[in-house]
Amino acid sequence: MELIGDNVMIEPVQGDDITPGGIIIPDVAVMKSTRGKVVAVGIGRLLKNGTRLAPQVKVGDTVLYGERKLYPVEVDGRKYIVVPEDCILGILEREA
């Protein structure tokens, strides 16, 4: 899939979270997943001066994202979310 602008498609990571102390926090006790793997990235945001700002994330990155501006989509029976890149709070793990 080819995304437009600074949009990023993320496959949410599901499952229970485990704290550093080994305590399992079930999904029902926390907000919806805010972690996922980047599966597609747009070409970047177009700035007012006509230049394009390259995306900071890339396909394969595991990211932490905010819960605003989430657009759920389904492609080939799999559920994803699309967010503008500015909704991504950080990169947890970068694929080499």
Indicate which CATH number applies to the domain containing 63.
Answer: 2.30.33.40
- CA distances 6 to 22, 41, 51, Å, are 37, 7, 13
**Where residue 34 falls among pLDDT bands split at 50, 70, 90?**
confident
Does residue 38 belong to any structural domain of this protein? yes
What global pTM score does this model have? Answer: 0.77
| Residue 25 vs residue 84, higher pLDDT | 84
Which of 30, 35, 32, 54 is CA-nearest to residue 43? 54
Enter the tokens of residue 20.
């550093």
Q: For the chain, how many structural domains are there in total?
A: 1
Domain that holds residue 59: 7-89
Taking residues 47-67, report their average pLDDT. 93
Does residue 96 belong to any structural domain of this protein? no
Taking residues 49-73, report their average pLDDT. 91
| Residue 30 vs residue 80, higher pLDDT | 80
